[in-house]
């Protein structure tokens, strides 16, 4: 008689579900964006059919062109990424040191720490840098 016990399948479902979660999130985001674009295009179509002017905000709020210079600089700034790397490095060093004070694991935090320091030094000494 075949077994109806599904416990042996349960352990295979855990990684499968874990891999499907980001895929579902991405597809859901794409569907939401497509619906939003559809509503925007329908609004623009209705305005143009009535002969009304189309507000520039409707056309510019959804464009995916380059960001304004001040926003681009703040998001991809070497100072920001350097500071984040320094913080992550120090946090990892502290975490691993508290886990095993007599071990060497704390040295793993040196990798992002020194990458962050290098980014900050590059920003400081690079010609034309904003920080001079």
**26-74 pLDDT tens trace:** 999 999 999 999 999 999 999 999 999 888 888 786 555 555 555 555 5
Q: For the segment 64-93, what is each residue's pLDDT rounded down to a tens digit?
A: 555 555 555 555 678 888 999 999 999 999
Closest CA relative to residue 120, chosen from 81, 92, 88, 73? 81
Specify the pTM: 0.44
- Looking at residue 132, its pLDDT comes to 46
Are 90 and 108 spatial neighbours (Cβ–Cβ below 8 Å)? Answer: no
* 44 CB-near residues (< 8 Å, 6+ apart): 54, 58, 59
- Looking at residue 74, its pLDDT comes to 59
- Looking at residue 29, its pLDDT comes to 94
Rg value, the chain, Cα? 26
């Amino acid at each position: 008689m075949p077994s109806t016990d599904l416990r042996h399948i349960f352990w295979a479902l855990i990684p499968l579900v874990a891999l499907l979660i980001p895929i579902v999130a991405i597809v859901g985001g794409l569907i939401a964006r497509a619906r939003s674009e559809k509503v925007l295009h329908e609004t623009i179509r209705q305005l143009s059919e009535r002969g009304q002017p189309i507000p520039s905000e409707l056309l510019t709020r959804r464009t995916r062109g380059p960001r304004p210079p001040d926003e681009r600089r703040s998001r991809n700034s070497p100072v920001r990424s350097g500071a984040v790397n320094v913080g992550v490095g120090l946090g990892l060093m502290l975490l691993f040191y508290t886990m095993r004070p007599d071990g060497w694991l704390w040295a793993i935090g040196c990798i992002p720490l020194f990458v962050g320091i290098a980014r900050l030094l590059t920003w400081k000494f690079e010609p034309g840098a904003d920080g001079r």
